[in-house]
Structure 1
Amino acid sequence: MGEEILINFTPMETRVAVIENGMPQEIYVERTARRGIVGNIYKGKVVRVLPGMQAAFVEIGLERAAFIHVEDVVAQGELPEDKSSLSISHVLKEGQSLVVQVTKDPIGTKGARLTTHLSIPSRYLVYMPGSSHVGVSQRIEDPEERDRLRSILQASIASEEEGQEPAGFILRTVAEGASENELIADVKFLKRLWQAVQEKTKKAKVPSAVYEDLPLNMRALRDMTQAGIERVRIDSRETFQKAQEFSQALVPEIADRLEYYPGERPIFDLYNVEDEMQKALGRKVDLKSGGYLIFDQTEAMTTVDVNTGAFVGHRNLEETIFKTNLEAATAIGRQLRLRNLGGIIIIDFIDMELEEHQRQVLRTLERVLEKDHAKCKVTGVSDLGLVEMTRKRTRESLEHILCEPCSQCQGRGTIKTPETVCYEIFREILRQHRAYDTDTYLVLAAAPVVDYLLDDASDHVAELESFIKKTIRFQVEAMYSPEQFDVVLR
């Protein structure tokens, strides 16, 4: 079975699923009210220069100022060999206006990340105004094809009229096999688009957006429809018609693979996409063998723990562990794409005695990651037997888009037990007893805490009452969280 893309469109949100061999591999969600801004170009204003961090904050119209590092301001060719001699305060001044592009969405508490090295993608190319570099995607491996593509682009650049500003290009993976006419049409399209952006920038106020990347449903057609995609199914007639117009203009070879899906079953019920999304929000992922994975996403990194669970099927323990780890490596590669996890990822495979087994598990993981559109780098096994890797993060993970920290535990994942809260209440009563004079204390708390105080801790309450010679009363507050309480003097 080949690959297909499912696009589920509603006015509030668009969801895209990439299916390979009947299994969802990638899921993207874009809320209309909170569209990602990666790729957008802004005319911004430098609000703070931070020499100690070699960086600056730039106001681009978001609630938090965005962040730019000195290396993202100075062109690569102009970087001195000794980078410490380059100071951000020589390059940027507070109050100056600056045309910048977003390379990372605001994630968690971090503002957006910016660059002045602008790039605009089309179907086959990425256009880089002001550069003269022609690069070819690493994933195009055939040397003859790389040379053919590069020479078409270089001929196109050489034929430019004098006076035109220099421009560089990167040939994207999907350019493999593209004809000369298709590539030249893309070059012309990008130059016209860049001309329009420049015109808009001259007239724009500060801060404001001067170029916005396509919405998710159109980005999916532009970026995800590689040669292997057999069809793209869309469940909204209006979006389907827009997709047809868009593909005829920019991606003509997939026009005949677009299908309108009017089925009675919701489109995300095909291939169990809805179920897989729910599973991708959980910590635990069950493996067919009986083993399981535990994913923990923190601010600094994501950790993945591999466990054998109930799997004891093979002749010996080493074989059992090896089989579980192999299955885990494949599942982890898929889960990283499905959950869109980025940054540092630490994988704790079950310890293996044989070096050959370790090598095969690592090779399996690397092979699975080769299919990933995001750049992944596995740095090998650490002294503690942990596999360390990174995956390029540009947009929020699925969990961050669909979930928020729990109001009860503030994202810790645990809450204090009623017993712990009960002892905190005792300490607070003693503190108030020393400071104030009163006849009665009224304790307001959540039901589980009051139940614990009246049942399991009733002896302790009686002891405390006789010690302070005061009465303690209790009242359940339905709106209180399990950790919240008040001690009121009566």
Structure 2
Amino acid sequence: MKGRTVILDHWKDRETAALVVDGVLEDLLIESDQPRPGTIYRATADRPVKGQGGMFLKTPDGSAFLRQVRGLAPGQSVVVQVTGFAEPGKALPVTQKILFKSRYAIVTPGAPGYNISRAIRDDDERDRLLGIAHDVMDESGDGLILRSSCSGASEDDIAQDIEAMAALAQRIRTDDSDGMETLLEGDGPHVQAWREWTGPADISTVDGGLADHGVLEAIDALRTPRVALEAGAFMFVEATRALVAVDVNTGKDISLAAGLKANLACARDLPRALRLRGLGGQIVLDLAPMPKKDRRTFETALRQAFRRDDTETALAGWTPLGNYELQRKRARLPLVEVLG
């Protein structure tokens, strides 16, 4: 099946969104029991953490941890936003740098200035978008980022998106209530799909859409660490308590170039494998044997693959034992925890 398809459905009564490209599952979002990233709380300062410059907070959904905090005393109220999922036994990660993110625009209170995605390089298009930003934001004082999805979008759609986010920021900023409260719920999988998967696609909203497009089988396959690669190669992607280990194998190919081919296939598919499994943190690649002269070729392929991925990933480099290390933001809950 060629083309892009976005499926909005439910998996075991949980809101689910799936992106299928040319018959292959590219992305998957399943509702979890944890608070959604993007949720905004009015929290209460609880106790500082000496030596770390942070403070534990009380929220309606339990304990949260705020880093690099100054001038906040226990008992005071503070507005914070959830930045990710809590690791087992740890508090929710939150920040005071609130963002109001939508399909075309990100409003940034407290960070004035208008910015346009670097992916938009046409000067005329950048001038058009900057004009829309000035017309809509006027003198609100909030900052604005226009996302790459604005390229070619209609002026009305962009303006309405900016207005909605600016109004939401104004409502949160002027709220003068007291006590712990959830001021805004983060986006669920269906809204996230609309917000992030902006390319042209067919949209399926019928019940049973996940089954019709083979997503249920793909979810079952994600329960196992084995990932099939091109030309019969494969890799195992396994999370331990300390790190994510990736083991690359050539399969039945015994040619001289088998190791390089398997490693290049790993580089191309690794962002998708990590994204679907919700894995981040320290990642160590135990690659198939290949000559040292081919390392640069592998690094180039890996860099290109992660450049197309939205999750912040740092390519750390080679270890003395010949493994390759990465550091990836924990932007999602591990899929094994969601599936149960």
Could you state the TM-score of these two structures normalised by the residue count of structure 1? 0.64
- Call closer, same or farther: CA 1:191–1:290 in 2, change over 3 Å: closer
Preserved contact between residue 60 and residue 207 of structure 1 (Cα < 8 Å):
yes
Q: Which residue of 1 aligns with 2:39?
A: 40
Match status 1:6 vs 2:7:
yes
1:354 CA displacement: 4.4
* Larger RCO (CA under 8 A, 6+ residues apart): 2
What is the distance in 2 between the residues matched to 1:16 and 1:175?
22
1:5-154 alignment, distance < 5 Å:
5-9=6-10, 12-31=13-32, 34-63=33-62, 65-70=63-68, 73=69, 88=70, 91-142=71-122, 144-154=124-134
- Aligned sequence identity (%): 27
Greater fraction of residues in strand: 2
What is the distance in 1 between the residues matched to 2:287 and 2:210?
32
Match status 1:334 vs 2:272:
yes
Q: Which residue of 2 aligns with 1:304?
A: 246
Amino acid at match of 2:153: A
Preserved contact between residue 313 and residue 328 of structure 2 (Cα < 8 Å):
yes
Greater fraction of residues in helix: 1
Match status 1:398 vs 2:324:
no
What is the distance in 2 between the residues matched to 1:366 and 1:132?
32
- Please, which moves more after superposition, 182-191 or 274-283? 182-191
- Call closer, same or farther: CA 1:346–1:92 in 2, change over 3 Å: same
1:131 CA displacement: 2.3
Aligned partner of residue 201 in structure 2, secondary structure? strand
Match status 1:189 vs 2:188:
no
Amino acid at match of 2:36: I
What is the distance in 2 between the residues matched to 1:341 and 1:141?
32
- Call closer, same or farther: CA 1:191–1:38 in 2, change over 3 Å: same
Q: Which residue of 2 aligns with 1:222?
A: 195
1:359 CA displacement: 2.0
Aligned partner of residue 88 in structure 2, secondary structure? coil
Match status 1:268 vs 2:269:
no
Deviations 1:421-463, CA, capped at 9 Å, x for gaps:
xxxxxxxxxxxxxxxxxxxxxxxxxxxxxxxxxxxxxxxxxxx
1:105 CA displacement: 1.8
1:402 CA displacement: 1.4
Preserved contact between residue 278 and residue 331 of structure 2 (Cα < 8 Å):
no
1:138-287 alignment, distance < 5 Å:
138-142=118-122, 144-157=124-137, 159-160=138-139, 164=140, 166-198=141-173, 201-203=175-177, 205-224=178-197, 226-227=198-199, 229-236=200-207, 266-287=208-229
Deviations 1:337-376, CA, capped at 9 Å, x for gaps:
2212122222121232142x22222222222223322223
1:380 CA displacement: 3.0
Amino acid at match of 2:9: N
1:102 CA displacement: 0.8
Unaligned runs of 5+ in 2: none
Amino acid at match of 2:260: F
Preserved contact between residue 104 and residue 162 of structure 2 (Cα < 8 Å):
no
1:271 CA displacement: 4.2
Deviations 1:173-212, CA, capped at 9 Å, x for gaps:
211223443333222222222333345x323x52210111
1:305 CA displacement: 1.1
Preserved contact between residue 339 and residue 397 of structure 1 (Cα < 8 Å):
yes
Aligned partner of residue 28 in structure 1, secondary structure? strand
1:299 CA displacement: 3.2
Deviations 1:225-275, CA, capped at 9 Å, x for gaps:
x13x32110124xxxxxxxxxxxxxxxxxxxxxxxxxxxxx4223443222
Match status 1:375 vs 2:312:
yes
What RMSD, in angstroms, separates the aligned Cα atoms of the two structures? 2.3
1:35 CA displacement: 4.9
What is the distance in 2 between the residues matched to 1:22 and 1:235?
18
Preserved contact between residue 243 and residue 284 of structure 2 (Cα < 8 Å):
yes
Q: Which residue of 1 aligns with 2:297?
A: 360
What is the distance in 2 between the residues matched to 1:330 and 1:271?
23
Aligned partner of residue 104 in structure 1, secondary structure? coil
What is the distance in 1 between the residues matched to 2:241 and 2:306?
23
What is the distance in 2 between the residues matched to 1:191 and 1:354?
52
1:286 CA displacement: 3.2
Name which one, 1 or 2, has greater alpha-carbon Rg.
1
What is the distance in 1 between the residues matched to 2:130 and 2:320?
43
Aligned partner of residue 164 in structure 2, secondary structure? helix
1:109 CA displacement: 2.2
Could you state the TM-score of these two structures normalised by the residue count of structure 2? 0.90
- Please, which moves more after superposition, 38-47 or 326-335? 326-335
- Call closer, same or farther: CA 1:42–1:177 in 2, change over 3 Å: same
1:144 CA displacement: 4.9
Preserved contact between residue 24 and residue 271 of structure 1 (Cα < 8 Å):
no
Amino acid at match of 1:44: A
- Call closer, same or farther: CA 1:153–1:223 in 2, change over 3 Å: same
Amino acid at match of 2:42: K
- Please, which moves more after superposition, 285-294 or 394-403? 285-294
Q: Which residue of 2 aligns with 1:451?
A: none
What is the distance in 1 between the residues matched to 2:136 and 2:163?
10
What is the distance in 1 between the residues matched to 2:193 and 2:276?
15
Aligned partner of residue 289 in structure 1, secondary structure? helix
- Call closer, same or farther: CA 1:123–1:202 in 2, change over 3 Å: same
- Please, which moves more after superposition, 288-297 or 99-108? 288-297
Aligned partner of residue 83 in structure 2, secondary structure? strand
1:142 CA displacement: 4.2
